[in-house]
Amino acid sequence: MGKRQSQRPRQSGARNLGKATSMSNTVARVYRGKWVDLTHQAHVAVVDKNGKLLYSLGDPERFTFVRSSAKPFQALVACESGAVEGYGLNDEALALLCASHNGEALHVKNVVEILEKAGLGEAALQCGTHPSLAPAVAKTQPSVLTNAYSNCSGKHTGMLITTQWLGEDVTTYLEPSHPHQERILEVLSELSDTPKEAIGLATDGCGVPVHSLPLRSFALATAHMADPSALEPKRAAYLRRIAGAMMAHPFMVAGSGRVCTRLMEEAKGEAFVKLGADGYYMAGVPSKGWGITCKVEDGNVAICEGLIIHVLHQLGVLSQEGFDALEGFHSPKRTNHRGEVVGRVAYDVVLREHP
Of the residues 2, 86, 179, 207, which one makes contact with a copy of itself according to CB under 8 A: 207
Q: Does 355 bind a copy of itself (CB under 8 A)?
A: no
Nearest to 118 by CA among 81, 68, 76, 69: 81
CB atoms within 10 A of CB 200: 13
- Mapping DSSP to helix (H, G, I), strand (E, B) and coil, where does residue 334 land? strand
Q: Does 40 bind a copy of itself (CB under 8 A)?
A: yes
By beta-carbon proximity to a copy of itself, the closer residue of 162 and 300 is 300
Task: List the helix and strand counts (H, then E) for the chain.
Answer: 14, 12
Distance, in Å, from the CA atom of 188 to the CA atom of 209, rounded to the nearest integer, reads 12
By beta-carbon proximity to a copy of itself, the closer residue of 26 and 319 is 26
8 A C-beta contact, residue 261 and residue 326 = no
Distance, in Å, from the CA atom of 221 to the CA atom of 45, rounded to the nearest integer, reads 12
- Site residues for a copy of itself, 146-185, by CB under 8 A, read 150
Residues in contact with a copy of itself, shown as a per-residue x/- string from 220 to 259 under the rule CB under 8 A: ----------------------------------------
Nearest to 96 by CA among 80, 82, 113, 81: 113
8 A C-beta contact, residue 61 and residue 14 = yes
Of the residues 2, 91, 129, 314, which one makes contact with a copy of itself according to CB under 8 A: 129
CB of 333 to a copy of itself, least distance (A): 12
- Per CB under 8 A, the segment of 12-20, 103-111, 225-233, 325-333 that binds a copy of itself is 12-20
CB of 131 to a copy of itself, least distance (A): 10
CB of 199 to a copy of itself, least distance (A): 10
By beta-carbon proximity to a copy of itself, the closer residue of 30 and 160 is 30
Partners of residue 32 on adjacent β-strands: 35, 343
Q: Does 299 bind a copy of itself (CB under 8 A)?
A: yes
Phi and psi, residue 180, nearest 5°: -65, -40
By beta-carbon proximity to a copy of itself, the closer residue of 203 and 287 is 203
- Mapping DSSP to helix (H, G, I), strand (E, B) and coil, where does residue 319 land? coil
CB of 36 to a copy of itself, least distance (A): 3
Q: Does 340 bind a copy of itself (CB under 8 A)?
A: yes
Cβ-proximal residues to 20 (8 Å cutoff; 6+ apart), any chain: none
Nearest to 343 by CA among 335, 353, 352: 335
- Per CB under 8 A, the segment of 36-44, 184-192, 222-230, 262-270 that binds a copy of itself is 36-44
By beta-carbon proximity to a copy of itself, the closer residue of 102 and 212 is 212
Nearest to 28 by CA among 341, 324, 311: 311
Burial of residue 141 (number of CB atoms within 10 Å: 0-12, 13-18, 19+): middle
Residues in contact with a copy of itself, shown as a per-residue x/- string from 308 to 337 under the rule CB under 8 A: ----------------------------xx
By beta-carbon proximity to a copy of itself, the closer residue of 205 and 332 is 205
CB of 149 to a copy of itself, least distance (A): 11
Q: Does 338 bind a copy of itself (CB under 8 A)?
A: yes
Q: How long, in residues, is the chain?
A: 355
**Which residues of this protein are in contact with a copy of itself, per CB under 8 A?**
17-20, 24, 26, 29-30, 32-41, 63-65, 126-130, 150, 200-207, 210, 212, 278-279, 297-300, 336-340, 342-343
